[in-house]
Amino acid sequence: MHWGKLPARGPIARNSLVYSIVVPAYNEGRNVGRTLHALSETLRGEGIPYEIIVVDDNSVDDTAEVVLNCARDLPEIRLAHNSGPNGLGRAIRCGLGHYTGDVVAIIMADASDSPIDVVRCYRKIEEGYDCAFGSRFIAGSNVTAFPPVKLVANRIVNHALRIMFFTRHNDLTNAFKVYRREAIDAISPLHAAHFNITIEMSLSALIRGYSIATLPISWSGRTWGQSNLRLREMGRRYLCTLLKIWFERLLIHDDVMADAEAVEHAQRSERKAS
């Protein structure tokens, strides 16, 4: 099925894009410090210009204090506060309202994502891709400590998404993904308040014809604390988001593509003017 594609981009100069990392954090005082230091060390080592926006999602532990302590040594780190109700989606939306870079990555605060993979995704954007999706379930990936029940649910949901959207991407629910600013602008405003934002972002980019690279990644379950994902609670939210985007693709795809093309045109005009 042909959905339409946006114009292809060519490769760009190495390390010429500012990389924004959005890190939502709820009660991650024991994890967020090592996550930020590992990210900063790796990005600095690669010479990538970057910023890290940590969104404190109304934590009741010392998450904000830990982030501010890190920022004293690492000026690229900024702390933002989600002023509304808690929720991963709300925290990510807050972070996307604060980033200033050309490329943005969503990274978990619990050190489950590898900084090396963060760099590898950035390099794919440099090659000309609009998005880079990390997959835990293709050749070359390495996954440890994935809770068995959540693993089974993950594979069922992702298989259903592949069938419904005729796509080869097999880890669309994974939060770790990287987007050009143009893609974020086109899929905004986002509405999901919880973990369903993962498919709102990935499926919205997919149906708009953005070029997507899939990379095998390393992923490890948390060593401290408890995941905030509750399968029973999230099911209805995932279903609502899934059906919304599926009907957008089915019924109003011409309007979806027209809006995406308008964003691309505006961004090109802005770059020429500058």
The pLDDT score that the predictor gives to residue 230 is 61
Token pair belonging to 180: 């050009």
Q: Which residues contact 226 (CB under 8 A, 6 or more apart)?
A: none
31 and 222 in contact (C-beta within 8 Å)? Answer: yes
The pLDDT score that the predictor gives to residue 223 is 52
User: Which class does domain 19-273 fall in?
Assistant: alpha beta
The pLDDT score that the predictor gives to residue 122 is 98
Q: Which residues contact 61 (CB under 8 A, 6 or more apart)?
A: 27, 28, 29
- Tell me the C-alpha distance between 114 and 5, whole Å: 31
Q: How many CB atoms lie within 10 A of CB 146?
A: 15
Q: Which residues contact 221 (CB under 8 A, 6 or more apart)?
A: 112, 144, 145, 146, 147
The pLDDT score that the predictor gives to residue 113 is 94
Residues of the chain with pLDDT under 70: 1-3, 222-232
The pLDDT score that the predictor gives to residue 1 is 43
Q: Which residues contact 27 (CB under 8 A, 6 or more apart)?
A: 59, 60, 61, 63, 225
- Tell me the C-alpha distance between 217 and 153, whole Å: 20
Q: How far is CA 64 from the centre of its chain?
A: 21
C-alpha dihedral over 191, 195, 182, 35, to 10 degrees? 140
- Tell me the C-alpha distance between 75 and 260, whole Å: 34
